[in-house]
Structure 1
Amino acid sequence: MTKFIQILKDINELIVFKHSVFALPFIFIAMIVASKIINDSIWFGWELLILGTLCAVSARNFAMGANRYLDRDIDKDNPRCASRPSVDGRIGRGNLLFFIWINALIFVIVAYFINSLAFWLSFPILLILGAYSYFKRFSSLAHVVLGVCLGLSPIAGAIAVLAYIPLWSILLSCGVIFWVAGFDILYSLQDMEYDKKMGLFSIPSIYGAKASMFICALFHFLAVLFWLLFAISANLGVAAFIGVIISAIILYFEHRIVRRDFSKIDRAFFTLNGYLGIIFFVFVLVSLW
């Protein structure tokens, strides 16, 4: 039993499950908006709640597992990453591959039970999720690709309920893309010198810290703009617009914290961004209710 608990702890450390808080609120935002449109109720049912959550968790497990597997050669010499279970031997190559493929299979099977569009799109989605790790080896657009990976979540939520892709879900998705790409640039500031040494293509390693902060600010401005357009397109109430404003304030403080002290990047990355998604979801929920 002790060994099993340790395995679960190692898996949790591998995939950093608490980071699911970044994508899950936006999946559920899309699902409650879609349900309100089609059912005149924010509740989309227990079946879709369970299937949607399983899809989100398995997709993220696949993406994180693939990232850790493909980045082993990069992580082993990075002091920040050298103690990861995928690097220090706690989770072996075979077990990691099994974890990746079993989550891919779960994702596809669950998507099949949602609807046909979800099923057929599950394959290119897995391809996109798995491609992220390669981009940092040849393009600084890796930050945007990561944004796309999480930005697919609102579209997936809308598809689960509506079986088609509405415009408002694309706008919400674009907001998530630029939000994630922006905070990933901030997070990459920690590895700026290491990325230069290894020849990796992060925006901080290519353009430096000052330019990276500007690009991040631009991305987050676009994120707020797209979220405003989403609220307008989905015909949401005043509370949703307040949620967008609060999100903008959170992003402002995130930049302020990082500009003052790069050692507080973790605080800005984990705490503030975690709160942002949840707060945005709550205000959209109130606006629909």
Structure 2
Amino acid sequence: MAKFIQILKDINELIVFKHSIFALPFIFVAMIVASKSANDSIWFGWELLILGLLCAVSARNFAMAANRYLDRDIDKDNPRCVSRPSVDGRIGSGNLLIFIWINALIFVIVAYFINSLAFWLSFVILALLGAYSYFKRFSALAHIMLGVCLGLSPIAGAIAVLAEVPLWVLLLSFGVVFWVAGFDILYSLQDMEYDKKMGLFSIPSIYGVKASMFICGVFHFLTILFWLLFIISANLGFIAFLGVVVSGVILYFEHRIVRRDFSKIDRAFFTLNGYLGIIFFIFVLVSLW
């Protein structure tokens, strides 16, 4: 029993399950807005809730495990990453591959039971999630690629309910893309010197701190712009608009914290961004309710 519990702890450390908080609120934002537009009710049913959660968890497990597997050669020499289960031997390469394929299979099967569009797009989504790890080896667009991976979440949520992709969810997703890409630039400031040494591509390693902060600021400005357009396009009203304003304030403080002290990057990355997604969801929920 103790060994089984330890395995679960190692898997949790591998995939950092608590970071699911970044994508889940936006999946549910898309699902409640889609349900309201289709059925005049924010509740989309228990079946879609369970299937949506299974898809979200399995897709993220696949993405994180694939990233850890493909980055083993990079992580083994990075002081920040050497204690990861995929590097220190707690989870071997064979077991990691089994975990990756099991979650890919779960994702595809669950998508099949949602609708045909979700099923066929599940293969495209897995391909994009798996491709992310390669981007940092040849392009600083890796930040955008990570944003695209999480930006697929609300699109998947809308497809689950509507079996189509309306304009408003594309605007929401573009906001998520630039939100994630921006805070990934901040996060990669920690590895700036290591990336230079290893010849890896990131905006901080190529352009330096000041340019990175500026680009991140532009990305987060675009985030707020797209979310405002989402609110307008989906006719969500004043309360949802306030949610975007509050999100903008959170992003402002995130930048302020990082500018003052790089040692607080984890606080800005995990704590503030985690709150942002939940708060955004709550404001949209109240606005619809």
TM-score normalised per structure 2:
1.00
Q: Distance in 2 between the 1:190 and 1:103 partners?
A: 30
Match of 1:187 in 2: 187
Match of 1:164 in 2: 164
What is the CA-CA distance between 1:238 and the residue it aligns to? 0.9
Deviation digits for residues 53-111 of structure 1, max 9, x if unmatched? 00000000000000000000000000000000000000000000000000000000000
Give the AA of the match of 1:56. A
Question: Structure 1: which 5+ runs fail to align?
Answer: none
Q: Distance in 2 between the 1:124 and 1:206 partners?
A: 30
1:49-64 alignment to 2 at 5 Å? 49-64=49-64
Match of 1:255 in 2: 255
Match of 2:133 in 1: 133
Match of 2:225 in 1: 225
1:147-158 alignment to 2 at 5 Å? 147-158=147-158
Secondary structure of the equivalent of 1:81? coil
1:1-289 alignment to 2 at 5 Å? 1-289=1-289
Q: Distance in 2 between the 1:21 and 1:98 partners?
A: 25
Q: Distance in 2 between the 1:23 and 1:68 partners?
A: 19
Q: Distance in 1 between the 2:108 and 2:205 partners?
A: 36
Q: Distance in 2 between the 1:45 and 1:34 partners?
A: 12
Secondary structure of the equivalent of 1:219? helix
Give the AA of the match of 2:104. A
Q: Distance in 2 between the 1:282 and 1:196 partners?
A: 41
Q: Distance in 2 between the 1:6 and 1:111 partners?
A: 31
Give structure 1 regions of 4+ aligned residues with deviation exceeding 4 angstroms.
none
What is the CA-CA distance between 1:237 and the residue it aligns to? 1.7
Secondary structure of the equivalent of 1:165? coil
What is the CA-CA distance between 1:255 and the residue it aligns to? 0.1
Q: Distance in 1 between the 2:8 and 2:210 partners?
A: 40
Question: Structure 2: which 5+ runs fail to align?
Answer: none
Q: Distance in 2 between the 1:286 and 1:237 partners?
A: 10
Q: Distance in 2 between the 1:95 and 1:37 partners?
A: 44
Deviation digits for residues 93-132 of structure 1, max 9, x if unmatched? 0000000000000000000000000000000100000000
Q: Aligned-residue CA RMSD in angstroms? A: 0.3
